[in-house]
Structure 1
Amino acid sequence: MLSTTISKAIALTLAAVGLLLQVESAAAQGYPERTVRLIVPFAAGGGVGVFGQQLVAHLGPELGQEIVLEYLPGSGGMIGAAAVAQAAPDGYTLLLSTAGPIEVSPVTYENVPFDPIEDFEHITRLGSVPYILVAHKKLGVKTLEEFIELAKKQPGALSYGSSGSGTINFLAAELLKIRAGIDLVHIPYQGNGPQMVDLVAGRLDVSMLVPNAITQYVDDGTLIPLATTGSERSSNYPDVPTFKELGVDVEVSSWYGISAPRGTDPKIIAALDETSRKLMQGDSLPAELKGLGIDADVSASPEEFEKDIAAQLALWAQVMKQAGIEKIK
């Protein structure tokens, strides 16, 4: 009798679960049925926000629903990312994810309010921006080889700038130090503005900067581009070789993508991935992004996107350990 009762209870539970899955599946097939929020984890007006504006102008019409940007800045992007990690996994709260809060902050900060892998479904990487190592003309170097040779002759004498110890261009420079076997002095700044002032004035020797930040000073000869961290040459600087071309194993990019809370229906993830991929295979959005200095860089699949993130997290953790860098508290 007891066995029969338990069997009936199990059958009822399975039926309820099956019904719930059918309802969720039906909802996913009609996705999206209302406005979608895309959380931007940085302040309005910055590069990430501008990328978001370009993206939703194309993605919304393709999905047939309005997508609104909601800015939740703070703590290097972690506040916005945490809000999405804790949101309902229904596809109506998404994250405009970037390398900063997803790959860099989790290894550079002591307290991070989310797990960058376990708490998200990373859907599609859409574009990336490489860094370019530039040297002030006073150094007298024209190539990466000349710079490394100079740095080895003067260990600890040359300086590099960054936007702070919790940023990707800081880690990229530390990776260069390790892979090239050179010693540079780190000068942290509160943002790129003050860093550019000192670099252009010659008070700073080198920096890792995004292409759009250096155009004016490369054109007038103040800064000399030595190498790019991208997997391929930058479309903005096709004559500048990659580090890997030059035999130095440094490959780093700041990327932009779409992520959702863990547990989001696979059909919703597939719909977003397919639509985003379609946009990036067209002409309009990639051309607009190129004007912002962003190269089209679409991940092969959500699974590959997540693997890439996991690999980069492991690399930055290794750099932190090898360089003896303490986490920010």
Structure 2
Amino acid sequence: MSNDLPITRRGFGALAGAGAAAAALGAFPKPALAQGYPARVVTLIVPFAPGGSTDLVARLVAAKMGEVLGQQVIVDNRGGAGGNLGAGVVAKADPDGYTILMGTVATHALNPALYKKISYDAVKDFAPISLLVNVPNVLTVNPKFPAKTVQELIDLAKAEPGKYAYASSGNGSPLHLSGELFKKLAGVDIVHIPYKGSGPALVDVIAGQVPMQFDNMPSSTEHIKTGRLRALGVTTAKRTATFPDLPAIGETLPGYDTYSWNALFAPAGTPPEAIEKLNAAAVKALQDEGVKAKLTDFSAEIVGSDPQVLADLVKAELAKWAPIVADSGAQID
């Protein structure tokens, strides 16, 4: 991601119109921070409704970041269009360090491939701050389903193509595409059944209406522990601390690795000093014992990266998911 744009597109016309005045002063002004940044409240836009995993991570981290920065970091939920609405707001915000985004694999890797029209460029319009956490997904089945391992599931699906179905939280969601990657690498034909959210999908898998589901680990954790669901594998490359005995799907399907992630972004052109302060505050917030404990309970893997790691991740994720989205046939107007 680039953070070397001196002004936003919206601001360019105004500056161009003021060219004569700027020339008289000797130069165009560049974005600069007032002394003592942050001098006022920082707004963290969450591009999804309250109550989900992204919102939970945002509120945990924002509270501690505010303590570190000496200014409140408030969470502003701007749900809509699969995260595009909130991400677009931040992409067009003034690059002054006071409006930042809680980005996800959806906003910065899937949506650019899914949507015919999107109001932002996932790379050019944002300055990366920090990759905060990775959140694993999990493949679960109804307890009465005959497969008890990933390999047994693959064998069943290959023996009877098209017979079995999997549920997800919706078309084009990270969980839908976790299933599509599974199908591709395993060479199986299983039918996708999209739901309007993980909750309704969980209900039907537990009831036996659909035999299996790809879900965020936090949503399924209690159901796995109580035996209402049987977990076959986590979608991350390695096993998770929450369920150390649960194999990773990649142990059966080499190269399989999907997960959700949460990361902080600012508008492109945000001064480096602001990025540095925001990064330091985010990393320190993730080191707080209370935050760490809650995120661990939430099955999140704490990262707290520097900006370059996040920039590299976005480019890699875009390259990874574009062909998977194309193969799935999913597209949203």
| TM-score, normalising length: structure 2 | 0.88
Aligned counterpart, 1:185: 191
Aligned equivalent of 1:171:
177
Change (3 A) 1:50 1:318: same
Which of 31, 38, 42 in structure 2 is aligned with 1:36? 42
Residues of 1 paired with 2:23 and 2:176: CA distance? 53
Distance in 1 between residues matched to 2:208 and 2:289, nearest whole Å: 40
The equivalent residue for 1:311 is 316
The aligned runs of 1:41-120 (5 Å cut-off) are 41-120=47-126
Q: Residues 243-267 of structure 1: CA distance to partner in whole angstroms, max 9, x if unpaired? A: 2233432111111111000111112
* Counterpart for residue 19 of structure 2: none
Residues 1:213 and 2:219 are matched in the alignment: yes
Q: Following the alignment from structure 2 to structure 1, what is the Cα–Cα distance between the partners of residues 199 and 287?
A: 34
Residue 328, structure 1, aligned to residue 332, structure 2 = yes
The equivalent of 2:16 in structure 1 is: none
Aligned residue identity for 1:245: E
Bigger Rg, structure 1 or 2: 1
Q: Contact between 2:169 and 2:194, CA under 8 Å: does it hold in 1?
A: yes
How far apart are 1:15 and its partner, in Å? 7.7
Alignment-derived partner of residue 26 in structure 2: 16
The residue type paired with residue 232 of structure 2 is L
CA distance in 2, matches of 1:216, 1:267: 43
**Alpha carbons of 1:229 and 1:326: their partners in 2 closer, same or farther (altered >3 Å)?**
closer
Which residue of structure 2 aligns with residue 6 of structure 1?
Answer: none
The equivalences for 1:237-256 within 5 A come to 237-256=243-262
Displacement of 1:49: 2.1
Greater fraction helix: 1
Deviation at 1:222, TM superposition (A): 3.2
Offset at residue 31 of structure 1 (A): 1.5
Amino acid at match of 1:131: N
- For these two proteins, the number of residue pairs brought into alignment is 314
Once the two structures are overlaid, the 10-residue window that deviates more, 133-142 or 253-262, is 133-142
8 Å contact 2:172–2:325 — kept in the other structure? Answer: no
Q: Give the C-alpha shift of residue 215 in structure 1.
A: 2.7
- Name the CA shift for 1:216/1:326 in 2 (closer, same or farther; >3 Å): closer
CA distance in 1, matches of 2:44, 2:219: 26
Alignment CA distance shift 1:326-1:246 (3 Å): closer
- Code of the residue aligned with 1:31 in structure 2: it is Y
1:7 corresponds in structure 2 to none
What SS is found at the alignment partner of 2:270?
Answer: coil
**In the aligned structure 2, how far is the partner of 1:206 from the partner of 1:224?**
9
> What are the superposed Cα offsets for residues 162-201 of structure 1, whole Å, 9 maximum, x if unpaired?
1111200001110010011111101111111211111011
Q: CA deviation at 1:137?
A: 2.1
Summarize the Cα distance change of 1:137–1:14 in structure 2 as closer, same or farther, 3 Å threshold.
farther
Kindly report structure 1 stretches of 4+ aligned residues shifted beyond 4 Å: 12-15
8 Å Cα contact 1:172-1:250 kept in structure 2: no
Superposed, which structure 2 residues align to 1:198-209 within 5 Å? 198-209=204-215
- The Cα of 1:13 is off from its aligned counterpart by 5.3
**Over the residues paired in the alignment, what is the CA RMSD in angstroms?**
2.2
The whole-number CA distance in structure 2 between the counterparts of 1:73 and 1:216 is 26
Where in structure 1 are there 5+ consecutive unaligned residues? 1-11
In 2, Cα distance between the equivalents of 1:237 and 1:14?
66
State whether residues 160 and 186 of structure 1, in contact with CA within 8 Å, keep that contact through their aligned partners in structure 2: yes
| Contact 2:132–2:282 (CA under 8 A) maintained in structure 1 | yes
Displacement of 1:56 in angstroms is: 1.6
> Residue 14 and residue 169 in structure 1: after superposition, are their counterparts in 2 closer, same or farther (change >3 A)?
farther
Equivalence map 1:224-243=2 (5 Å): 224-243=230-249
Task: Name the CA shift for 1:68/1:54 in 2 (closer, same or farther; >3 Å).
Answer: same
Distance 1:225 1:251 in 2: 16
| Cα distance in 1 for residues equivalent to 2:164 and 2:24 | 67
Percent of aligned positions that are identical: 35
